[in-house]
Structure 1
Amino acid sequence: MKIISVAEFYEDKNMPLPDTISREIGHFNVFDVAEVLAIHKRTATMPYNRRAFYKINLIIGRNRAEYADKVIDIEKSALIFSTPKIPYNWIPQDSAQAGNFCIFTEEFMTPSKTGLILEDLPIFKSGGYPVFEVTAEEKDEILTIFKKMIKEMSSNYAYKYDLLRNYIIELIHYGQKLQPTTALYPTHNAGSRVSSLFVELLERQFPIESTRQQLQLRTPKDYADRLAIHVNHLNKVLKEQTGRTTTDLISSRITQEAKILLRQTSWTISEIGYCLGFEEVAHFSNFFRKQTSLSPIAFRA
């Protein structure tokens, strides 16, 4: 699973990269959904990935938001909060899409500038429901905040970024006030969703095609972190869905790849072990023998 950078966000949308991005100040921008789609000239569907920035989105139209353990359907209008730590997939359900959204980096909203720690805010915590259905009246109120953002972005006011931070905070508080009563709940089997996303992450690491390639995810915790769920929950779900533990599923797939590399390449045992996440060849040999009752050398013979 890749992490989409700010630069890649603009590239994907066929938009020029602004010159307002810096490590010290951070980055902020606000968009009109219809205008972005007109430039984009293709579906607004986004793959299941993490983003290296925060995003607050007022979406008007039928959509589906897919997270690791929940799928949320939106029928009319919703306010959505996205954090760099939680991957998600976005699927429009019709062509009539409107609204506004803003993106900002952590550097733009540091505690020294805002007095807030974003990760500590309920709206950005993992395990919650960051999608809130809004009424027509609430939609208009939120649109007003976005209009202020758009107007301020084109101003020459010396403290405009301070004002924009205040507008972000206003949106955050708006969402947190909605949280207790109007959070949307999952409409699909959460266990099945987690299981399928785990398998997708596992399979994305293969095939190994170069001795310079190495598995990025090796342990159950690695996968749980990518899915933004607790490792115990992941293991429980996979046990219920497949009858096997997380470790067993990972080990089985690594063993399958090891057999392919041993039979179909001339790579050394050490190189194969390294690619599969084993720093020491002895660790790889012990793992392979435990899985197959044969040493890598004996299997290759």
Structure 2
Amino acid sequence: MKKALSIEEFYANDLKFTPDNLNSGIGHFNVFQLDEFASAKPKPMPYNRRDYYKISLVKGRARVHYADKVIEVDKQVLIFSNPQIPYNFEKIDEQLTGYFCLFTEAYFHQYGNIYSYPVFQSGGTPVFILEDEQADAFSEIYKKMFTEINSDYAFKYDALKNLVFDMIHTAMKLQPANLVTNHHSNASDRISSFFMELLERQFPIEHVNQKIKLRSASEFAEKLNVHVNHLNRALKETVQKTTTDIISDRILQEAKILLRHTNWNVAEIAESLGFEETAHFSNFFKKNTKNSPVKFRKAVVI
């Protein structure tokens, strides 16, 4: 797997400059129009991870390659990208329009964990196919971002954080009600948040010698200093899944990414994902996909 594209590389490769506040230590935010990146011979967007967060509103026919999924877009799409998951857009229309904003995790440091929101979680819903009215609503938020970032207001970057949260919550309200309206205890929320952070800290797998350390519910519970039953109850209450199911889903997602986008052999992938035997990995993969890792890799076309 290629190394994640850094925010410095984004500016150097696509904009040929480095903002003065990029390495200020307080985090970075910026907003762009997609039209600014149009050219006679545009470079294809690489399928890769980025080390920053990004929210994109893309108008036009395209395919979104996100983690192990390919999503067809006929008119417009909103996509939330995080540093753990690789993605790209494949153009079908000659010219795509829209907007995107990008920011580092440090930008939200004093506002809680940005990755705790479902739209930025690996098992959440990061891609939203939009109707015209919905796309217009998000376009208005982006226009407010441009107005704010170009203003002289001393607290404009705080105001921009509020607009990002506005976009997140507006998107989450588009999901089925049972996914976004459950109320949980503070204790369950905290345990779930710590668990997800611990899980995601093991990813992405970027080197063939990298290996995840925690694979079972009991191992996570021990690290979190809670009983495994308590951890299960907290996750059931907050995300309606068992600890084992969440771990398995994340390992399966990473397995598909590695099979699709690396030349590592199946044994190397199995070892990276913590399987002692390649056969155990193959059985796990086939149980969850109805395909062997080799057949899955041969069937993939990007």
TM-score range, shorter chain: 0.5 to 0.7
Report the residue type matching 1:57 in the other structure.
Answer: S
Q: What is the CA-CA distance between 1:161 and the residue it aligns to? A: 0.5
Instruction: Find the residue that maps to 1:84 and give its secondary structure.
Output: coil
- Determine whether 1:222 maps to 2:223: no
Q: What is the CA-CA distance between 1:99 and the residue it aligns to? A: 0.6
| Superposed counterparts of 1:97-176, under 5 Å | 97-110=96-109, 112=110, 114=111, 116-176=112-172
| Greater CA drift, 78-87 or 7-16 | 7-16
Q: What is the CA-CA distance between 1:17 and the residue it aligns to? A: 1.5
Deviation string, structure 1 residues 208-246 (Cα, Å, up to 9, x no partner): xxxxxxxxx95536369xxxxxx78657568823569x9
Unaligned runs of 5+ in 1: 182-190, 205-216, 225-230, 247-301
Q: Please, what TM-score do these two structures have when normalized by structure 1? A: 0.62
Cα root mean square deviation, aligned: 3.3
Q: What is the CA-CA distance between 1:203 and the residue it aligns to? A: 4.5
CA contact (8 A) 1:44 1:92 kept: no
Q: What is the CA-CA distance between 1:170 and the residue it aligns to? A: 0.6
| Superposed counterparts of 1:1-301, under 5 Å | 1-38=2-39, 41-43=40-42, 45-110=44-109, 112=110, 114=111, 116-180=112-176, 197-198=258-259, 200-203=261-264, 218=268, 220=270, 222=272, 234=285, 236=287, 240-242=291-293
Deviation string, structure 1 residues 69-97 (Cα, Å, up to 9, x no partner): 21111110111100011112321111121
Instruction: Find the residue that maps to 2:292 and give its secondary structure.
Output: helix
Instruction: Find the residue that maps to 2:291 and give its secondary structure.
Output: helix
CA contact (8 A) 1:23 1:107 kept: no
Cα separation, 1, equivalents of 2:169 and 2:141: 12
Cα separation, 1, equivalents of 2:102 and 2:74: 23
Q: What is the CA-CA distance between 1:66 and the residue it aligns to? A: 1.3
Calculate percent identity across the aligned residue pairs: 40
Unaligned runs of 5+ in 2: 178-251, 275-280, 298-302
Q: What is the CA-CA distance between 1:135 and the residue it aligns to? A: 1.4
Cα separation, 1, equivalents of 2:117 and 2:271: 24
Aligned residue pair count: 214
* 1:154/1:239 CA distance change after superposition, 3 Å: same
Report the residue type matching 1:220 in the other structure.
Answer: A
* 1:161/1:201 CA distance change after superposition, 3 Å: same
CA contact (8 A) 1:10 1:17 kept: yes
Instruction: Find the residue that maps to 2:49 and give its secondary structure.
Output: strand
Cα separation, 2, equivalents of 1:128 and 1:14: 31
